[in-house]
Structure 1
Amino acid sequence: MASSTDTSAQPDRPLRPNTVFRQLRGRRSPAEFAALVRRAAREIGERVSCDARYVGRVEAGEIRCPNYAYERVFLHMFPGRTLTDLGFAPRSTVRGRGARPAAPPVAAAAHEHPRDRDAPYGAHRPYPNDPLNHEESDVLRRAFMTGTGATVAAAATLGPLGTATDASAASRRAGTSEAAAVEEAVRRIRLLDDQHGADGLYRRAAEPLRAAYALLDAGATRQTTAERLHSGAGELAISVGWLAHDSGRFDDARSHYAEALATSRMTGDAGLEAHAFCNTAFLARDAGRPREAVRAAQAAQRAARPLGSPRLMSLLALREAGGWAGLADRTGCEQALVRAQALFGRGMSDADPEWMSFYGEAELAGLEAQCWSTLGDWRRASRHARRATRLQDPHFSRNIALYTAELADDLARDGHPDEAATAGLRVLDLLAQVQSSRIQSMLAGTARVLLPHRRASGVADFLDRHASLPRPRRG
């Protein structure tokens, strides 16, 4: 395997924090700034999986010069500036490699916000004669090529990590490039799930997970690398477990979450432990084990309390609320919801885990809707579900489909078949790009409720289109 081009691995170059980039972030948290980067990338047709950890690496000086995709995004966000203006080292000085001509700056009116401007950049294309992009290892480049919009094609971008790392794991200890590849696998899976849903991704996502644990078995060159590998492998197990969970493979999901929990216990990783218990609670609720959901959510809160993230504690309180709702304990559910809202109101912080990028006002409203729905309060559930659909970032296609499906079901059960059918038709439109057995199962329940109301406006159209859906395939 070729050595990594990650400049942080060069012992003769001490890290120099990128204070300019930190100033540009301003009062936003790393997660909030990462969301702006992803949005800017979509505006110019780029694909980057930026998150709080990447922003932190830039600000710490670990990334001296971004790859070409990130370069185009940053220059789009801050028109008229060069990479050096943004605090990066000149590309020609990094690893002594020659640089391609820099992307031209974006001209824009002074009164426009950088994120509102159009940019003359097309989609990023690979350069066949170009060596590895800076800050990306051979493993990352081969494992995560830009995919197409189709779910199956997107899933194919996950597979090569296994073939790229299994052979090396058997013959040598893992280094920083392998640890980075595992971390990038987690980000890529989350990004693809946000865009396409779990069905079609699960089987392919299991390949990088096997490779990650093969790397752990081989050992690492340094203790810090070993810690990154354990944390990355645990997060990868949770991500793959979630794909199993969302595609209805509850036993597989339970196994993956247990694997992540065991990894967290071996290394004393409280953040990973809290995440594993969080997902275990969610799974238990969906699998009809509400008491287990409550216990797992409470265990997650005990693990997470020292981490200092109110947002994380808010999400875990919602997981507990879901368990209480499943037990038909309205008081326990309401108390947990009040805690969740109060903790959410404290805002974001640098202590928020990077995997929580999905958790905003929309998810808070969506999860509260699920609680009220479980308790049979359809009117209150539909109100929160409607709010969730209005607040959700368009990037999260799967969540938009999920909240809209929740809204359709709540409206149907609350006696509004015409509005339910309208929402259900919106979900059917989204299913062209989102594949989730959970969402299809919710729609099937809505269809059963609407069957006696075929004469209501739009209901027959919804029922006919729903009946023509192919059955979900597990692959």
Structure 2
Amino acid sequence: MGANVILRGRMDELGLTQDELARQMNVALEEIGRRPGDVSARTVRNLLNGSTRRPIGRTCAALEAVFGCPAADLGFVPPRTAVRAEDPVHRRTFLVAATGTAVAAAAPPRLTRLGQADADRFHLEYTELLRDDARLGGAGKIENKAIELASRIQSSLAGDGASDRVRRQMYRLASEATCLAAFAAIDASAPRRARSHLDKALPLAGLARDGEAMYRVWDHLMLTSSQRENHAEAAAGAEVMKRSSTARRDPLYASLGHMRYANALARLHQPTESLRAMSAAEKAFGRADGEQPSAWISFYNRAEFDALSSYVWTALGEHERAESCLHRTLVAIPDDMVRNKALYTAHLSLAQARQGEAELAAGTGRRAYEMLLPASGSRRTTRTIAVTRQVIEATGTKAPEVVSWIEESRRWI
């Protein structure tokens, strides 16, 4: 009798402790049989140390459901009689992660040939998540759903039943879904978690042999570097973006690369080079041919261009210019982009505060917070409001309306 190193390895891959695996098995059993499971940490310990070599009944069903594979593939002796739980589709996908980050258990390889209809179905799920992200921002459920979608797409590719064209589409979708999870983490001000997602997205984009997918990974890597205040690394990432084949082919991508570069250079205290990069971004943006952009880059419209310009002016200390850009953004931004409206309203509040307009900034900050939907996880927005409050407090103002807002905003953040 020996320890089950295969099961231990699978648990380590998913970051599962004994207690967490027991909990997930109980969740699986409740989903399967509509009644609570009774798996304990002791049960899992016996599975790991070799005391239980042939799990049977509900224990076997729960293991297979959580890990998405037969018990034999987990290092166990197969049961003498295959036991199925009440639900014939018990080997479903479950979210399993000890840290709260969702990781989808792999589904069994599908036997039917993958086709364009499958790619279209996954793409529809992805675009729905994009819309949810535009409304809610860095909500945990957006991040988790995106990870789960990417995992299902990859699982569907486990067999050989797909043309090269369809396989490349699916790898691109898996990369884009993983990037969406990363951006949700960025909006939640969790750059390390975002970086972990992007480490997975990069090889998927490579397998897709898709320059736009690769560009998006580099864009998000640049943002994580910026959030960690590593502006030299952010500038290097923006260099990759603006020199990519995608940017050379499409001026919209070129413009975004130059704009990201301008932002990083401004924070590296290189104003001349930053303004030169922003001018290049403006020229490239003007060359964009007006064709329908892909789902992701479509966010980069005139409203977004002005918003990103405001970040550069802010970093250069030109707060009046930043405010002017943000006013243009808020007039033009589509109503369904709720998260961005709130974020840029918060930045408008900060620009006003830095110009000494304490009462105006307080009112704008209140509007920004009220725009956020209850389920929003956009910590970028709430942190910007917190910085606004610090700027206003530093003025020592005693205006009743401002003092009231300061106290009120402490309860938000």
Fold agreement, TM-score > 0.5: yes
Write the deviation string for residues 10-53 of structure 1: whole angstroms up to 9, x where unpaired.
xxxxxxxxxxxxxxxxxxxxxxxxxxxxxxxxxxxxxxxxxxxx
1:180 and 1:267 map into 2 onto residues whose CA distance is 16
Cα gap change, 1:304/1:396 in structure 2, threshold over 3 Å: closer, same or farther? Answer: farther
Aligned: 1:406 with 2:347: yes
Greater C-alpha radius of gyration? 2
Select which of 138, 154, 157 maps to 1:198. Answer: 138
Cα gap change, 1:351/1:358 in structure 2, threshold over 3 Å: closer, same or farther? Answer: closer
Structure 1: gaps (5+ residues) = 1-142, 144-158
2:307 and 2:245 map into 1 onto residues whose CA distance is 22
Letter of the structure 1 residue corresponding to residue 118 of structure 2: E
Select which of 439, 456, 471 maps to 2:399. Answer: 456
Are 1:378 and 1:410, in contact at CA under 8 Å, matched by a contact in 2?
yes
1:210 Cα offset (Å):
1.9
Select which of 457, 460, 465 maps to 2:408. Answer: 465
Partner of 1:217, secondary structure, is coil
Are 2:108 and 2:155, in contact at CA under 8 Å, matched by a contact in 1?
no
- What residue number does 2:262 align with? 321
- What residue number does 1:119 align with? none
Are 1:271 and 1:307, in contact at CA under 8 Å, matched by a contact in 2?
no
Are 1:172 and 1:218, in contact at CA under 8 Å, matched by a contact in 2?
no
- What residue number does 1:34 align with? none
Write the deviation string for residues 273-325 of structure 1: whole angstroms up to 9, x where unpaired.
11111221122122211111111111112224466321121111111111111
* 1:382-421 mapped onto 2 (5 Å cutoff): 382-421=323-362
- What residue number does 1:447 align with? 389
- What residue number does 2:54 align with? none
* 1:350-389 mapped onto 2 (5 Å cutoff): 350=291, 352-389=293-330
Task: Give percent identity, aligned residues only.
Answer: 24
Are 2:182 and 2:197, in contact at CA under 8 Å, matched by a contact in 1?
yes
2:146 and 2:223 map into 1 onto residues whose CA distance is 20
Select which of 132, 155, 170 maps to 1:229. Answer: 170
2:317 and 2:199 map into 1 onto residues whose CA distance is 32
* 1:26-37 mapped onto 2 (5 Å cutoff): none
Partner of 1:376, secondary structure, is coil
2:359 and 2:324 map into 1 onto residues whose CA distance is 16
* 1:74-473 mapped onto 2 (5 Å cutoff): 167=107, 169=109, 171-172=111-112, 174-200=114-140, 201-305=142-246, 308-350=249-291, 352-433=293-374, 434-451=376-393, 452-456=395-399, 458-469=401-412
Are 2:127 and 2:295, in contact at CA under 8 Å, matched by a contact in 1?
no
Write the deviation string for residues 342-379 of structure 1: whole angstroms up to 9, x where unpaired.
11112444373331121111111111111121222222
Are 1:244 and 1:250, in contact at CA under 8 Å, matched by a contact in 2?
yes
Letter of the structure 1 residue corresponding to residue 348 of structure 2: L
1:173 Cα offset (Å):
5.0
Task: Give TM-score, length-normalised by structure 2.
Answer: 0.69
Cα gap change, 1:271/1:204 in structure 2, threshold over 3 Å: closer, same or farther? Answer: closer
* Alpha-carbon RMSD: 2.4
1:380 and 1:357 map into 2 onto residues whose CA distance is 25
1:248 Cα offset (Å):
1.6
2:363 and 2:161 map into 1 onto residues whose CA distance is 54
1:168 Cα offset (Å):
5.5
Are 2:310 and 2:325, in contact at CA under 8 Å, matched by a contact in 1?
yes
1:225 Cα offset (Å):
1.2
Could you say which structure has the higher helix fraction?
2
2:319 and 2:227 map into 1 onto residues whose CA distance is 18
1:278 and 1:167 map into 2 onto residues whose CA distance is 31
4+ residue segments displaced more than 6 Å: none
Task: Give TM-score, length-normalised by structure 1.
Answer: 0.61
Are 2:192 and 2:224, in contact at CA under 8 Å, matched by a contact in 1?
no
Deviates more, 1:441-450 or 1:424-433: 424-433
Partner of 1:395, secondary structure, is coil
1:393 and 1:311 map into 2 onto residues whose CA distance is 19
Cα gap change, 1:177/1:443 in structure 2, threshold over 3 Å: closer, same or farther? Answer: same
